[in-house]
A and B are shown apart, each in its own frame.
Chain A
Amino acid sequence: MTAAEIVFVLLGVVALAAAVLVVTTRQLVRAALYLVLSFGAIAACFLVLTAELVAWVQVLIYVGAVVVLLLFGIMLTRAPIGPTSDLDSRNRPAAIVVAVATAGVLVTVLVRGFGDAYVDLGEPSTGSASGIGANIFRYWVLPFEILSVLLLAALVGAIVLSRTDIGPPKDGDG
């Protein structure tokens, strides 16, 4: 086992355990904090895969922004802070069936398709900011611009949804 594989196994165990705890914990706030742990372990996995910029953006966007937003959501919906017993819905049998099917399909496909793939550790790492920036603005300009429009649409949509003083037009408004 190489050093990269040992590091990966440790990170993978942390990511998986934290993900299981997100799904099973009885306290909402702890679910968000376990999510931070899982995202952090995945970001470290990105670092092991030499995707430096993706790793840092993962820390910034997911750990920094998304989880904070989710915590805000938990607070704003007045979710119970202590342990709550009715966090799980009743469709556990269906969930087990779906889980087994999903895991079976994904693991089979990935192992059949990429079981003998290998990574040449000798090749230089490519995930630097300059390389990714050149790649985006050389080959991915149109998706990039479309994404900026999507972000603007999400911004406007969130404002419209969360403002209370603009509703559907009343009779006589025209």
Chain B
Amino acid sequence: MTPTYYLLLSALLFTIGAVGVLVRRNAIVVFMCVELMLNAVNLTLVTFARINGSLDGQVMAFFVMVVAAAEVVVGLAIIMSIFRTRRTASVDDANLLKY
């Protein structure tokens, strides 16, 4: 079984996620695309674990999942507080840091 196709699939998924982060305007959809990119990385890690016959890649995939869950929780809290103050969830409207 050649694992190259798995790596190609994860590369394409990562690219789609990156495009979504750049193109989409709603902050929650941006979050979904970040999750997509993290999942692509997980697929790569598990594929490498399978190639090498070791479990380290799968353990790292677990750690990535935990960090992703923490990131979603904090990110949604930030989105909610932005929504409370500015009544919008669009990333284009939160532009106070822009010169």
Q: Is the CB of A95 within 8 A of B35?
A: no
List chain B residues, Cβ under 8 A from A65.
Answer: 69
Residues of chain B at interface, number, CB under 8 A: 70
Q: Is the CB of A99 within 8 A of B15?
A: yes
Interface centre among B36, B79, B91 (most CB of A within 10 A): B36
Q: Is the CB of B13 within 8 A of A19?
A: yes
**Which residues between 133 and 174 of chain A lie within 8 Å of chain B, taking CB atoms?**
135-136, 139-140, 143, 147, 150-151, 153-155, 157-158, 161-162, 164
> Nearest-CB distance from B16 to chain A (Å)?
4
Q: Which single residue of chain B is at the shortest CB-CB distance from A76?
A: B80
State A157–B74 Cα separation when bound (angstroms): 7
> Nearest-CB distance from A114 to chain B (Å)?
6
Chain B interface (Cβ < 8 Å from any Cβ of A): 1-9, 11-20, 22-29, 31-33, 35-36, 39, 42-43, 46-47, 49-51, 53-56, 58-59, 61-63, 65-74, 76-81, 83-84, 89, 91-92
Q: Can you list 21 A-B contacts with CB-CB less than 8 angstroms, sorted by A residue number?
A: A4-B1, A16-B9, A19-B17, A20-B16, A22-B16, A28-B28, A38-B36, A65-B69, A73-B28, A88-B24, A89-B24, A91-B22, A96-B19, A99-B19, A99-B22, A103-B15, A107-B11, A114-B7, A119-B1, A135-B58, A162-B80
